[in-house]
Structure 1
Amino acid sequence: MVRSIKNAKKAKRKKTKVSSNGAGSTSSSLPKSPSLPARVWRPGVDKLEEDEELQCDPSAYNSLHAFHVGWPCLSFDIVRDSLGLVRSEFPHTIFAVSGTQADKPPSNSIEILKVSNISGKRRKLLPKKAADGSDMDSDSDSDSDEDEDEKGSGEPILQLRKVAHQGCVNRIRSMPQNPHICATWGDTGFVQVWDFSAHLNSLAESETDTSQGRTSVSNQAPLSMFRHKDEGYAIDWSPLVPGRLVSGDCQNSIYIWEPASESKWNVDKNPFVGHVASVEDLQWSPTEADVFASASVDKTIAIWDIRQGKSAFKSFKAHDADVNVISWNRLASCMLASGSDDGSFSIHDLRMLKDGDSVVAHFTYHKHPITSIEWSAHEASTIAVSSADHQLTIWDLSLERDEEEEAEFKAQTDDSVNAPEDLPPQLLFVHQGQKDLKELHWHNQIPGMIISTAADGFNILMPSNIETPLPPANGSA
């Protein structure tokens, strides 16, 4: 249930160089390699002495940048754009929406942002398969040399547009079918739907303007709004029914929104009630239009079918503590991931619910509350997790321990690298440097890219060990 970063200090807008642990101020690039021999630091295990500081290994990233928008943001969402369905070439451009956590309610705003000129190294791509199943060489020797070169020059460019929002934004989501339409959950108890077409179109057409929208805040009325009996955090757009929305509050009530037109929604005033405590997260099924899942402080996950009344179709205990977040795998729809207040996260196979125990994997690597969890949009077995322990981790659940491979790696590794032996084999990557991580999202159109928000701003990262398939020849749109 740990989620609030209210009353945080506002970040200064002056530019500073990226810090050694990967955090930054306005916009920063990969840090330089440390000069001393590397030693792996294990959070929660190793102590950091007064004369020691953490250093980021830039070779671990294909791209790493940091930026902030002023006030901290508890939530954000990546906005689908028209720059290409599967993009692998630097420099990259991204669009997103976020909501602030300011010290005074009138100081809050919704941030519509564009970050362009995101540089980095060309990522390692999986080769195409020939008809006989063998790998096809897709790059020449000169191309392989080019893979290590950094693409793009200069620092990323951040452009902002701001819309006034009364009170802090607890969560914000962009509609999949019409990304200019966004929904916000405010700490005032209101869920509101907005049309940001003008702002996003302006940013898409703008090339170098970095000042407009950074200080001025526009006053814009929402398209629709509904007041819950209490504030909340749970909200999700349906991926199958355009405009269908579900929202849940801290008093255990869940409401369904149905679109009446392109700019109006009808909210069923009779809520879905099944949990006995706060509803923390909601996720629509990626394959069944009338089914959604909910996670609650009552330690349970519930599956609902809106065609079968206002009671849960199935409810089960998921953790021994509050269930903070859930993510439904859109590439393997039988898999649902959940993260708990006790630092653990689990993978549930929904096909096994009828047998009573749906947990197929359970991880206790993190020791503080899980704040965000999300399956990759491009690899069915890959998932990213953030925690209140200031770590963002990436996992490949298809991996198993290989003792022979580990022995070979140790024989080839410099003795100065002190790699922990007790790490789970599924753990691919650990990202640090952000304070009080709150939410992460994979970019659906840029394989391997993750954006995360924390009390000290945003990070854009692309780990170098996350492999992705080659895009199709006509992959641009």
Structure 2
Amino acid sequence: MSKRLAESENSGEGPLKGGGRPEAMEVDDKTIEEMGEFEDEFEDEFESEDEIIEAGVDGRPDAEREAEERAEGAMDVDSGPGTFIVGRSKLEPGQTLAPDPSTYEMLHTLSTPWPCLSFDIIRDGLGDGRKVYPATMYTVAGTQADSRKVEENQLMVMKFSGLSRMERDDDSSSDEEDDNDDEDADPILESKSIPINSTTNRIRVHRSPSQDPAKPSITLTATMTESTNVYIHDITPHLASFDSPGTVVTPQQNKPICTIRAHKSEGYGVDWSPLHPAGKLLTGDNDGLIYVTTRSDGGGWVTDTRAFQGHTGSVEDIQWSPTEASVFASASSDGTVRVWDVRSKSRRPALTVRVSDVDVNVMSWSRQTTHLLATGADDGAWAVWDLRQWKPSAGAAAAKEEKPTPIANFRYHNEQITSIEWHPTDDSIVAVAAGDNTVTLWDLAVELDDEESRDTAGVQDVPPQLLFVHYQQTVKEVHWHPQIPGALVATGDEFSVFKTISV
């Protein structure tokens, strides 16, 4: 499958600019050919504009008349101007969708000179659980410049600020909240660039205690590139420059503090261990090889040249266990997920599980319920697995492919899954990005009772667990913000920052 965005014709010239929130639009029959809105199918707020007839006045039994009215109401919903019903409506060629601002608490778009395949959110010192607007967040991303301008590729350390909430006519905020809520603010994107001269396939961030106790923590990035090299940068001075006027980032500070050259092919698997504060990094490539790089006590970096081997296809994603310091899992184009122990002398997987008949592109290990693992595949399916059901075969070195049953399995998307992530504090909520230009939010705790089943019987292929659909062109990766409850950031042709009223 293709991992790259379509090459942009953007020249990359001109200043960075922040996007704005979409304004509410009046939609008539003329504009329906060009746009639509999506509705939450389960809101049950649709009303027919037909005159209400009192029961029995037309001489028919109430049940017959009410059934006909319900059918007419459904037709009115389908044919209403500007309304797109997930699972029921279809876009005609040339039609596009516009978001319904009333379904968002926050929605912004921000543009960069070139699209970004991957990014990560940086934890900051502004506090956890914050709900004050306008919001601020810090991210880092790698660009994909036009193939004729590879030298323009860069890492972008970014600060998003002025992220205001959606203005509402019925807003009843307290005076104290209003003082902190500038709804008229425009979003601002500030950026510090690090030349890298290669497309970034995936980038991940790690906060590490400083080797000098008198100094604050440092922020490290690991970047897997098309060049096969993996670069580790210290972006601490770049972040400091946003909030310390007069701070200058030197050319020396733009250079990587380590370059990993163990890989002979490019790759997409990279993850920092959450249980090794100094820094322990996994990287996996298209040859199916996985390497471990560790930061030594003296601050240097050592890559173990003995690769972990077992996959018969490329390593598409990789993650450390949230609770076991020596355990990690990898997902591959060979359709399997394999679980490994870095202490193994054989460098072979402890167990192998076939989770798909096609490429397994992405995975996410729940931080709240650590026996749950979510995977997303090339056929648009994603699933949740209970790791307690994965049993190693006799003799870990010759582990066979087990075939357990997922505890949840969804085939809503019709294109490849490009990103998946558990909510950081709610183990029933999952965000999924796919090649059909959508980010979907799911609540695995939702179950249909008999009455709800009847109400949604006419909606095909829409699972009741589907909470929300956010449309974004060429979306590649999505992350929850760990310190702003319910806020998400997604990258595609542009960056989208949003928070729905449903999560």
Range class of TM-score, shorter chain? 0.7 to 0.9
The answer to whether the 8 Å contact 2:87/2:462 transfers is: no
Distance in 2, Cα, partners of 1:226 & 1:44: 49
- Report the residue type matching 2:258 in the other structure: S
**1:95 pairs with 2:138:** yes
* Alignment match, 1:201: 240
SS of 1:371's equivalent in the other structure is strand
CA-CA distance at 1:6 after TM superposition: 6.1
Match of 2:474 among 427, 432, 436: 436
Tell me the residue number matched to 2:266.
Answer: 231
Separation in 2, partners of 1:317, 1:232: 21
Instruction: State the 1:86 CA deviation.
Output: 1.5
Partners in 2 of 1:262 and 1:4 — Cα distance? 38
**TM-score by structure 2 length?**
0.78
* 1:253 and 2:298 correspond: no
User: Which residue does the alignment assign to 1:352?
Assistant: 389
Aligned residue number for residue 164 of structure 1? 195
- The alpha-carbon distance between structure 1 residues 12 and 258, as it changes in their structure 2 partners (threshold 3 A), is closer
- Other-structure match for 2:84: 40
Greater displacement, 400-409 / 264-273: 400-409
Report the CA distance between 1:121 and its aligned residue. 4.7
Residue 145 of structure 1, CA deviation: 12
315-324 or 5-14, which deviates more: 5-14
* Counterpart secondary structure, 1:271: strand
Indicate the residue corresponding to 1:452 in structure 2. 490
Q: Is residue 401 of structure 1 aligned with residue 437 of structure 2? A: no
2:352 and 2:331 map into 1 onto residues whose CA distance is 10
Is there any run of 5+ residues in structure 1 with no aligned partner, and where? 17-24, 124-140, 411-418, 467-477
**Is 1:112–2:189 an aligned residue pair?**
no
Deviation of residue 300 (structure 1)?
A: 0.3
Q: Which moved more, 1:81-90 or 1:350-359?
A: 350-359
What is the identity, as a one-letter code, of the residue corresponding to 2:185? G
Cα displacement string for residues 184-243 of structure 1 (whole angstroms, at most 9, x for unaligned residues): 111101011100111100113359x9xx99xx9987221111111111111000011120
With 256-265 and 440-449 compared, the bigger mean Cα shift is at 256-265
**C-alpha separation between the residues in 1 aligned to 2:218 and 2:450?**
46
Q: CA deviation at 1:180?
A: 1.5
Q: CA deviation at 1:261?
A: 3.7
For 2:465, the equivalent position in structure 1 comes to 426
Q: Partner of 1:175: helix, strand, or coil?
A: strand
Using the size of structure 1 for normalisation, the TM-score is 0.82
SS in 1 for 2:368: coil
Checking the alignment, whether the CA contact within 8 Å between 2:120 and 2:140 is kept in structure 1 is yes
Deviation at 1:68, TM superposition (A): 1.3
Q: What is the distance in 1 between the residues matched to 2:13 and 2:251?
A: 17
* Offset at residue 426 of structure 1 (A): 0.4
**Aligned residue pair count:** 424
Deviation at 1:101, TM superposition (A): 0.5
Amino acid at match of 1:5: L
Change (3 A) 1:270 1:59: same
1:40–1:420 contact (8 Å) kept in structure 2: no
Quote the sequence identity (%).
38
Instruction: Quote the RMSD (CA, aligned, Å).
Output: 3.0
1:160 Cα deviation after fit = 0.6
3-state DSSP class of the match of 2:238? helix
Secondary structure of the equivalent of 1:308? coil
Whole-Å separation in 1 of the counterparts to 2:173 and 2:496: 32
For residue 319 of structure 2, the aligned residue among 283, 295, 298 is 283
Q: Which residue of 2 aligns with 1:314?
A: 351
Cα gap change, 1:262/1:358 in structure 2, threshold over 3 Å: closer, same or farther? farther
Segments of 5+ residues of structure 2 without an aligned counterpart are 29-80, 209-216, 392-401
The answer to whether the Cα contact below 8 Å between 1:80 and 1:179 also exists between their aligned partners in 2 is no
1:220 corresponds to which residue?
A: 254
CA contact (8 A) 1:34 1:55 kept: no
State which drifts further: 173-182 or 36-45. Answer: 36-45
Shift of 1:398: 0.7
The aligned residue for residue 2 of structure 2 is 2
What amino acid is aligned across from residue 199 of structure 2 in structure 1? Answer: C
Query: In 1, distance between residues paired with 2:205 and 2:21?
Result: 27
Say yes or no: does 1:325 pair with 2:368. Answer: no
Partner of 2:377: 340
Kindly indicate whether the alpha-carbon contact (under 8 Å) linking 1:391 and 1:430 is maintained by their aligned counterparts in 2. Answer: yes
CA contact (8 A) 1:121 1:151 kept: no
Secondary structure at the aligned position of 1:437 is classed as coil
Q: Deviations over 1:75-132 (max 9, x none)?
A: 0000110000211111110000000111222111100000111100599xxxxxxxxx
2-side partners of 1:5 and 1:274: how far apart?
29
Go from structure 1 to structure 2 and tell me whether the alpha carbon gap of 1:264 and 1:155 turns closer, same or farther (over 3 Å shift): same
Which of residues 25, 28, 39 is equivalent to 2:20?
A: 28
Contact 1:452 1:460 (8 Å CA) reproduced: yes
1:148-163, aligned counterparts within 5 Å? 151-163=182-194
CA distance in 2, matches of 1:144, 1:345: 44
Distance change in 2, residues 1:238/1:181 (3 Å): same
Larger radius of gyration: 2
How many Å apart are 1:265 and its aligned residue?
Answer: 1.1
Question: Cα 1:10–1:217, aligned 2, differ >3 Å: closer, same or farther?
Answer: farther
Offset at 1:401? 1.5
For residues 261 and 99 of structure 1, the distance between their equivalents in structure 2, rounded to whole angstroms, comes to: 29
